[in-house]
Amino acid sequence: MADLLPEYRVKARNTSAGGENPMHDDAGARARGFPGALVPGVTVYAYLTHTLVEAFGTAWLDRGTATVKFVKPVLDHEEVLVTGEITERNARGIAATVKATTARVGDCAVATVTLPAGLPTPVNVAQYPEKPLPTERVPVSRAHLSSVDVLGTPVTLYDLDQAGSYVDDIGDPLPIYRVDGRVHPAFYLNQANRALSRNVKLGPWVHVASARAAASDRCTRRKTASTSSSTWCCSRARSPPRTSCTPRSTSSRRRPPDVRSRGSR
């Protein structure tokens, strides 16, 4: 009998409506062949993590990993069903798969997940230097990103107000993010997107894949004077990419080379 994870049902929310990316606007998405505005991949990822945190608690937040592929879009207001099952248990830890589906298209996102038995390697903050944001953003290109050692560093104050606002936006009811001071795992990914968009001008794009590596956070946390808040500094360092985004255009349906940001896990 399969070792199933808790199911989670949620009505999808377009948390990027009104932003720069036209894929999160009905007219912009329809002009590029989609039925309507797309829910951000970051938000779909948040739905996947709900099941993981409900099943494994803080252990997965502390040391869990996930590799996610967004295979089909989720539309605003669609009902999303998140299911999962444990595929392996051994001395090294737990492996599982989690997926998000809709009645319209079936599988929309699929994650391969692990919960290692050991603790991850502590993050060396010194490996992630900070740099001022550019005064003017240039159009994104692989050549430009390859020429930059460190992206400009957006800074976010993450306190209880910010935490409450974020989990309200994505509709996650788990209390751990409101009372225990835990940062929602999707917030890291949100900040990776922010690190990219604050440095370069992006055209229409869709989120196609991401990975969460417990041993190598891409956002560094710097404690402020208040014990209830932290400042998150996202910067690009010389390390494997963690977020892939595919530009979309009306001239071609082929998938062009990925443009990658390295701001977060």
CA neighbor of 20 nearest in space, from 262, 245, 255: 245
169: Cα separation from own chain's centroid: 14
Print pLDDT tens along the chain (265 aa): 579 999 999 999 999 999 999 999 999 999 999 999 999 999 999 999 999 999 999 999 999 999 999 999 999 999 999 999 999 999 999 999 999 999 999 999 999 999 999 888 788 888 888 999 999 999 999 999 999 999 999 998 888 888 999 999 999 999 999 887 789 999 999 999 999 999 999 999 999 999 988 643 334 333 333 333 334 444 333 333 344 444 443 333 323 223 333 333 3
d(CA 206, CA 208): 6
Is residue 77 within 8 Å of residue 102, measured between CB atoms? Answer: no
d(CA 185, CA 61): 7
Place of tokens 């444990």: 86
d(CA 183, CA 124): 19
Is residue 74 within 8 Å of residue 34, measured between CB atoms? Answer: no
Whole-number pLDDT of residue 233: 44
Looking at the chain, list the stretches that DSSP marks H as alpha helix, in order from N- to C-terminal side.
26-30, 41-56, 58-63, 142-146, 160-170, 176-179, 185-197
Is residue 85 within 8 Å of residue 6, measured between CB atoms? Answer: no
**Model confidence pTM above 0.85:** no
Is residue 62 within 8 Å of residue 114, measured between CB atoms? Answer: no
CA neighbor of 209 nearest in space, from 239, 185, 243: 243
Is residue 49 within 8 Å of residue 207, measured between CB atoms? Answer: no
Whole-number pLDDT of residue 183: 92
Residues 75-110 as b/e (b if ≥16 CB within 10 A, e otherwise) read bbebebebbbebeeeeeebbbbebbbbbeeeeebbb
Whole-number pLDDT of residue 71: 96
Q: Which two tokens stand for residue 112?
A: 């391969």
In order of their start, the domains of the chain are 3-261 (3.10.129.10)
Whole-number pLDDT of residue 237: 37
Is residue 123 within 8 Å of residue 220, measured between CB atoms? Answer: yes
How many CB atoms are closer than 10 A to CB 242? 23
Whole-number pLDDT of residue 1: 59
Is residue 10 within 8 Å of residue 49, measured between CB atoms? Answer: no
β-pair type (200-201, 138-139): parallel
Whole-number pLDDT of residue 225: 34
d(CA 48, CA 51): 6
